[in-house]
């Protein structure tokens, strides 16, 4: 996938040169081009923002540099998502990540100041995304969040050991607790079942823990997920455990 990121702060994108994203780029599974909107400013001072018509605080990003930058990267091609990162967008989630991963290109525009000239939305933007209800200083970190979440869904980006199909948000439940060596640390031991070698018992324990964790932390997710007959049995066990106070009103 080819991603073009339009920004007035190109130096903020160093994190995309590390770790799994770095490897994905080396393997040519992902190409990230960070485009400095300022290079497309039309005046001699390379101005990218201006005062809002009608008055008010703050500055607004001018349309011309953004239009020219988008035209420069995609020309007249359609079917390329042009995504504006903005606090007013729909909230990004795993489902949207899967949708975007189906494209072989996308353009991300990072908003700044008090916002962008509305004509950018009218004529250029196909989708507007927020990453959640908190106020950041710009769309750069959100753009990196989207690139990261989408890139790892591209086949081959994750090693074979880690399938995105096993992601907690992909199977609709939170993940079960994980342990590694040593078997005992600071007086805390690893649950016996995980050392038992009984794969069926381990699978059942993990599923139950996933259900328990989801019930206690994200009951909203349980409304969405389709539970198997075994899941219903396990979830009832969880609820009985909690009632019997074995749960001590929290996990374990």
Binding site for ligand 9D3 (CB under 6 A): 85-87, 111, 114-115, 130-132, 134-139, 142
Minimum Å gap between C-beta 88 and ligand 9D3 is: 7
Residue 77: strand, helix, or coil: coil
CA 73 to chain centre: 24
Residue 87 among the catalytic residues: yes
Which is nearer to ligand 9D3, 138 or 247 (by Cβ)? 138
Longest CA pairwise span in the chain (Å): 74
Considering the complex, what minimum distance in angstroms separates the CB of residue 141 from ligand 9D3? Answer: 8
C-beta closer to ligand 9D3: residue 86 or 214: 86
Q: Which of 17, 43, 99, 114 is catalytic?
A: 114
Which of residues 31 and 88 has its CB atom nearest to ligand 9D3 in the complex? 88
Among residues 117, 142, 152, 164, the one annotated as catalytic is 152
Of 167, 175, 231, 241, the catalytic one is 167
**CA distance linking residue 211 with residue 133, whole number of Å:** 27
Active-site residue, selected from the candidate residues 87, 127, 128, 251: 87
CB of 89 to ligand 9D3, least distance (A): 6
Q: Reply yes or no on whether 38 is catalytic.
A: no
Strand partners, 188: 185
CA 121 to CA 75: how far, in whole Å?
17
User: Could you confirm whether 71 is annotated as catalytic?
Assistant: no
Tell me which residues are annotated as active site. 87, 114, 152, 167
């Amino acid at each position: 996938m080819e991603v073009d990121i339009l920004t007035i702060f190109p130096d903020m994108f160093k994190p995309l040169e590390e770790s799994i994203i770095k490897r994905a780029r080396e393997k040519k599974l992902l190409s990230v081009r960070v485009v400095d909107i300022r290079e497309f400013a039309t005046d001699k001072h390379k101005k990218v923002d201006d005062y809002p018509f009608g008055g008010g605080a703050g500055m607004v990003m001018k349309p011309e540099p953004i239009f020219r930058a988008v035209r420069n990267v995609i020309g007249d091609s359609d079917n390329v998502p042009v995504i504006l990162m903005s606090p007013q967008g729909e909230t990004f989630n795993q489902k949207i990540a899967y949708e975007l991963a189906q494209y072989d290109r996308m353009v991300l525009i990072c908003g700044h100041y008090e916002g962008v000239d509305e004509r950018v939305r009218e004529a250029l933007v196909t989708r507007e995304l927020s990453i959640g209800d908190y106020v950041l200083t710009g769309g750069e970190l959100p753009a990196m969040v989207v690139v990261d979440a989408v890139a790892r869904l591209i086949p081959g980006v994750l090693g074979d050991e880690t399938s995105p199909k096993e992601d907690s948000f992909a199977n609709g439940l939170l993940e079960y607790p994980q342990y590694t060596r040593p078997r005992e640390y600071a007086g805390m031991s690893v649950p016996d079942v995980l050392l038992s070698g009984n794969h069926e018992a381990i699978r059942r324990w993990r599923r139950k823990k996933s259900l328990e964790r989801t019930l206690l932390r994200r009951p909203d997710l349980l409304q969405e997920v389709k539970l198997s007959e075994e899941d219903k049995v396990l979830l009832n066990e969880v609820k009985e455990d909690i009632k019997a106070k074995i749960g001590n009103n929290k996990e374990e």
